Amino acid sequence: MNTPLNLETQDLTVTPSVKGLAERELSTSRASGTETLLPTPEMLQTQLPLGDRVRARIAKHRAEIRQILTGQDRRVLLVVGPCSIHDEMAALEYGEKLCQLAEDVSDRFLIVMRAYVEKPRTTVGWKGLLYDPERTGRGDLHQGLIRSRRLLLNLAEQGLPVATEALSPMAMDYLEDLVSWTAVGARTTESQIHREMVSGLPMPVGFKNGTDGDVSIAAHAMTSAAHSHHRLAMTRSGTPAMVTTPGNRDTHLVLRGGRSLTNYDAASIEKAVQALQKAGLNTAVMVDCSHDNARKQFELQVTIARDVMTQREAGNDNIRGLMLESFLAPGRQVDSAELVYGCSLTDPCLGWDQTEALIRSL
């Protein structure tokens, strides 16, 4: 399943047609700033294509995830990886390690790697590899799109199912063919635009509970996403269009706690399951072991994961997945000239040794 790291694939050159289009600034400007043209999804997918072998593997991964969420596959879905990716080389090295671990525990877990290239912000801050790959604060969506797609493609070629968080519906037009599982975060679960976007996505999607811990917001999102919508979107060639979505029934709840509240305990999970049952929705639950559940103490993820798996072993079949934030080095660091290799710039993460020991112990 593993493939060697190919440093040459990190070359960021692009064809003249794409480069010329992306760098040509519009002559008109707005009061709010300037506009710079970008390559269309079709251009980028043509330059960084998904081969038939990898496309078939991604389809297989999506099907396996669906089977876990419906209970047909008794394994546990485990979404694990960095809070966000700022260093593609470190991410690929992490991916290689995760590939081997995934193979070793494949009888119990289906491991999907977090490869988040967008970051939600309550106010301001670094928005992720997609928007500001060099972290200068000036932004460079042109390079960000290229580097993000190249990274996801390299990870997929390693054999890993890849997960991301969908923040910009337009960004998903460039990346969705590479993704096996998608998250909609606590800040965007309530957004009707994101619910309509999910109704047209081809992979299973997890909706997180609201930032206040409210599960009903995610339940409403799942109901909306299951239905067809007419939405304003963009074609692969970059033309605005009205898209009629088919509806996506492959959605589920992700419990992540909220505002000093945790919701990974047996009573909270049972309450969430009852709310899903009442709404006539899939009762599959994934527990996010980080964020408010861990009260921002990243090492608590170990205790939470073991607690939740104990509940499952005791007979709670509605628990179908876990999410862990993990990278090569533990903790987090402040962005500076001398970065610790493989250490998160955003939320603190478990280190690789902690991660491997935890998963094998489960």
For the chain, the distance separating the N- and C-terminal CA atoms, rounded to the nearest angstrom, is 23
Residue pair 112/181 in contact (Cβ under 8 Å)? The answer is yes
Cα 138 versus chain centre, distance: 24
Q: What are phi and psi of 283, to 5 degrees?
A: -90, 10
Neighbouring C-beta atoms of residue 336, cutoff 10 Å = 8
pLDDT at residue 27 greater than cutoff 50: no
Number of helices followed by number of strands (H, E) in the chain: 11, 10
Mean pLDDT of all residues in 324-344 = 96
Higher pLDDT, 58 or 122: 58
Task: Report which of 203, 234, 246 is spatially closest to residue 43, judged by C-alpha positions.
Answer: 234
DSSP assignments along 156-220, one per residue: HHHT--EEEE---HHHHHHHGGG-SEEEE-TTTTT-HHHHHHHTT-SS-EEEEPPTT--SHHHHH
CA separation for the pair 108, 75 (Å, rounded): 5
Residue pair 269/255 in contact (Cβ under 8 Å)? The answer is yes
Mean pLDDT of all residues in 155-173 = 96
Mean pLDDT of all residues in 17-37 = 56
Task: Report which of 48, 111, 9, 184 is spatially closest to residue 355, judged by C-alpha positions.
Answer: 111
CA separation for the pair 85, 288 (Å, rounded): 18
Q: Which residues, 6 or more positions from 137, have their beta carbon under 8 angstroms from its beta carbon?
A: none
User: How confident is the prediction for the chain on average, in pLDDT?
Assistant: 92
Each residue of 258-299: pLDDT tens digit?
Answer: 988 999 999 999 999 999 999 999 999 999 999 999 998 999
Question: To the nearest 10°, the Cα dihedral for 358, 100, 55, 169?
Answer: 30
As a CATH number, domain 40-361 is 3.20.20.70
Band (9; pLDDT cuts 50, 70, 90): very low
| Pair type for strands 319-325 and 230-234 | unpaired
CA separation for the pair 150, 209 (Å, rounded): 31
Band (337; pLDDT cuts 50, 70, 90): confident
Band (121; pLDDT cuts 50, 70, 90): confident
Q: Which pLDDT does position 261 carry in this prediction?
A: 93
What residue segments make up the domains of the chain, in order of their start? 40-361
In this structure, what token pair is assigned to residue 10? 């990190």
Residue pair 228/275 in contact (Cβ under 8 Å)? The answer is no
Mean pLDDT of all residues in 326-347 = 96
Q: What are phi and psi of 251, to 5 degrees?
A: -120, 160
Q: DSSP secondary-structure letter at 340? A: P
- pTM assigned to the model: 0.91
Higher pLDDT, 303 or 4: 303
Band (32; pLDDT cuts 50, 70, 90): low
Each residue of 196-250: pLDDT tens digit?
Answer: 999 999 999 999 999 999 999 999 999 999 999 999 999 999 999 999 999 999 9
CA separation for the pair 320, 65 (Å, rounded): 10
pLDDT at residue 17 greater than cutoff 80: no
CA separation for the pair 114, 123 (Å, rounded): 23
Residue pair 99/111 in contact (Cβ under 8 Å)? The answer is no
